Amino acid sequence: MLKFTIRRLLITFPQLVILSVLVFIMGSMMPGDALSGLIDPNIPREAIEAKREALGLNNPWYIQYRDWVFAMFQGDFGTSIFHQRPVIDVIGDRLMNTVWLSLFSTILIYLLGLPLGLVSGRYNDSLLDNAITGYTYLGFATPQFIFGLVILWVFGYNLGWFPTGGSVAPGLEPGSLDYILSKINHLILPSFAIALIGLVGTVQYLRSGIIETKQKDFIILARAKGVKESAVYNRHVFRNSILPIAAFFGYEITALLGGSIFIEMIYSYPGMGRLFLDSISTRDFSVANVLILFYGFLAILGALISDIILSIVDPRIRIK
């Protein structure tokens, strides 16, 4: 297990290098630069060119890439021209908002998805199963932003039960009880919007696993020995059916961290996804490049976590 983990971490480095090169090249090929559209047109052209020269924007892409990489190894991720602040500070302001949104969404996905999958698989082909699978088909076919807009319109604008934007009510002292409750209140709608789509895969995987597992010989033998039906499902069927979900857990949690862009835009939620789109639209490539590298690292980390979890859950699989 330890050797496998170290080997996978070593493989991560060249993958990140290749990703960073591709991202930097594509960013340099886009029209304009970080100063485009952000400078007063009354400023003399010579002053604008001097600013570009000072920032190194006139250098070839490989020179800019080299300087960028060397600076990152020294802990300097650059300065956001749009925000006029260090990139690490700009991302840090949004990071915890996205982490909390992903955490709440993950909890909701498994709190709702596991019971629905268990019921659907145990009572397959029943009316209840048809209703649950019908919802999952609808979830597979419906884009996430549609769910987000419908939930926002119903519970935010029509009923007024929850706030329709932001991450916390203004004027509250950070760390106070009112501040924490306001943060949770602002998380409910976007978390449900993500979870209602995110759970469809969990339900389908678990349902299929239960239907397949409950027909195996060891389950028939357990029933023949007089084991209670609840014990058959809780101890044998469910445990053996959850392997695919465990295998994809790492991918799912990291995908939520990087995949909530549309929900953050719909709910005006100040997270990393919204920051990423804003950095692209303003050509703030110093922020966009770091975010893409971060998302790439999350994808690689998710694959590693999934492999480790699968080897722990299933005793038959031991990674040496």
Q: Could you read off the pLDDT of 150-162 as tens digits, one per residue?
A: 888 888 888 878 8
DSSP label at residue 79: E
What residues contact residue 319 under an 8 Å CB cut-off, 6+ apart?
A: 1, 4, 307, 308, 311
Q: Which pLDDT score, from 0 to 100, does residue 98 have?
A: 83
- pLDDT-based confidence at 32, cuts 50/70/90? low
- pLDDT-based confidence at 78, cuts 50/70/90? confident
User: Could you give the CA distance from residue 208 to residue 270 in angstroms, rounded to a whole number?
Assistant: 38
Which of 135-149, 173-187, 207-221 shows the lowest mean pLDDT across its residues? 207-221
Do 260 and 190 meet the contact criterion of CB atoms below 8 Å apart? yes
- pLDDT-based confidence at 35, cuts 50/70/90? low
For the residues 307-313, what does the mean pLDDT come to? 67
More confident residue, 315 or 81: 81
Cα–Cα nearest to 271, from 99, 107, 55: 99
User: Could you give the CA distance from residue 176 to residue 165 in angstroms, rounded to a whole number?
Assistant: 20
pLDDT over threshold 60, residue 320: no
User: Could you give the CA distance from residue 132 to residue 138 in angstroms, rounded to a whole number?
Assistant: 10
pLDDT over threshold 80, residue 132: yes
User: Could you give the CA distance from residue 285 to residue 33 in angstroms, rounded to a whole number?
Assistant: 8
pLDDT over threshold 80, residue 126: yes
